[in-house]
Structure 1
Amino acid sequence: MAAVLGRAGTTASGGFGRHHKEISRGGRRRNAVVVAAVTGAAPQEGSLERPAWSGETPVSRLVAALIAFKPLYSLMKLASREVIIRTAEKSNIPWREMTKKVLESDVYEVFERIRDPNIVYPDYYLSPFHAYDEGNLSAAAEAEAATLSIAKRAIPEATSIEEANKIVRGNWMNAIEEHHLKYSGENCQINDILDIGCSVGVSTRYLAERFPSAKAVGLDLSPYFLAVAAQKEEQLSRQNPIRWVHANGEATGLPPNSFDVVSLAYVCHECPARAIIGLAKEAFRLLRPGGTIALTDNSPKSKVLQELSPVLFTLMKSTEPFLDEYYMLDLEEALGQAGFVNVCSVLTDPRHRTVTATVPY
């Protein structure tokens, strides 16, 4: 389940300021947490549970009707793609140069080695994503450049891509580690990590760097993304090389109780609700007792997202076919129903939340 606007992570210095709000539901403790970025400014929640342009609201229905008009939809896709590339290049991300470098590498040879020809793709995965008609089976050459732009959109005041990533990816990594230490105990070492929907491996590499003694696995449904990830990894020297697996995150085929952390970064908003629930159940099966699941993605309560202009949210929805389902799903409740406890929701930057939970002992 890879995202063209993939994912990345890095370590932020220092800790965060926190505001805790505990909610009792069904006998499970749920914590809504706002985490201050390393800049010192805490991300703000909006006044709504989710954006007014999502779900079954009149605005949402109007946008859906516009998207359903095919001639207009085609124009929206082109406009959305131009916005993505222009935003990246304004942030000094060499989009075209990075894409050219991938295409001129030996990535096609790696593709043949890593691809599982027996994979059966779920129907939703073949839907157009991010202005690419072939969905997440294409666009791998552009994925890393697109990934880098996520942080700059989240932290527009950052003076560089590096600073923005330090905040966005650092807060995400800290949320995972703090949750694991708090609920799994200091003796529950992180030895095995699975990154589901790893795209071209940006988030997987950051996980491997944050926990260098752990064995990291990157798993994705797109052999194209995995080929780019594996080709780049072959150029790096690492204590524990990352293993790449071509599989469905809802039915990985990996042995049960084999991981301490399962991460899904910017994956859920690209999936229908049924797939998100399937991913949660599979993660529960794969984690050892005391293990941590971490899902980072758009926050429905983000003030920034709730206040997007009509042009921007229309373009966004035109390239994200399951965005409404994602915003309407109670992700914390879905994790609880899958068997997880200690469910925490953390606003880790102005746009994104990280939801963590524990497999009980």
Structure 2
Amino acid sequence: MPTIAKLPAAQTPSPTDTMPIDQGSGTNGITLATLLAGQQSAIVAPTGTLLGRMSIGAGGPETITLGSGLIMTSGTIAVGGPLTGLLDGQTVDELQAAGIIHDTDSFPLDQGGTALLRQSMAAVWTYIAGKLPIATKRMVELTTNTVLDATAHNGAILVCTQPITLTANFANMGSGFTCDVLNLSTNSVTMGTGITVGSGDTALPVQMAAHISAIAYSGGNIVFWPGPSATASTGDGSGGGGDGDGGSTPSATLTFATAPSGSYAVGQTSIGVNATLDPGTAASAVQFGISASATAAPTSWTAGALVNTQSNGDTFWGAYLTMPATAGTYYCWVATPDGTTSAVSPSFTVA
């Protein structure tokens, strides 16, 4: 019997080709198809692909390609671009609408790196609450007539350095709008069209403040300011000086709205003071002065200027004073010229 090496070379094998096989009971013949049935076929896969199985049930390996944003580097899968289909496969408008927010709701964020972490809404509120005590209001200086607007003025302190007119358009403000107005000009700031003034007196006197609110309620929409009022009362003092005018009465009262406070430089000028005379018919004039005593009236006076007559008939007066040339503790006085009605401020210092 010739050896295998002496047999002629076979042609391309076919599944029906037969070859001998020893099965213990003798030599039998078997086809190639029968011999290789159930054996792993040759694996052929393109470069840069993975092998796995996506079909249902048992079977041979199938080619799995890498998705967008992933690459194969030296046998390792890595991020190679935007993770399309993984993180940003949906736009916001494609997401399912969320319900009412709860403290336990969470969202992704990074904390000093690219890794995404989970944070709760309760933790966000704790963070915001810790910042609220140190939050400050905006300060906006106004020098020309201004229409109040939510974008520029909501929640702000508006400092008027010119005697301007403020107006309001509720549509540009919205319910819940608030602002504080401080008049640091040389004359009254006027509350104009669109602003309802409770007292009817639309003038905000010099060195006084106003709180303006816009609200929508069952009665409609309104931009409201209560009106000017005295912010500080220092009581009556005794004494006075000057010429009698015959118009004052013992029942009248003078109340400081703005009085010197704190510390001033020797000889400092343009110190604004304001006071209200109730009733306004009690005197045709008032005067302001500075004394080193809370009981002895000043020896010199500055005539007050009538700022306005309020809706209740009270008159509002103002003046600019010069601090004494000698350091010490002093008091500001306001009095009718006949001295029958007066008020004295708390002490202040000149240094």
- TM-score, with structure 2 as normaliser: 0.20
Return the structure number with greater helix share.
Answer: 1
Which structure: greater strand fraction?
2
Higher alpha-carbon Rg:
2
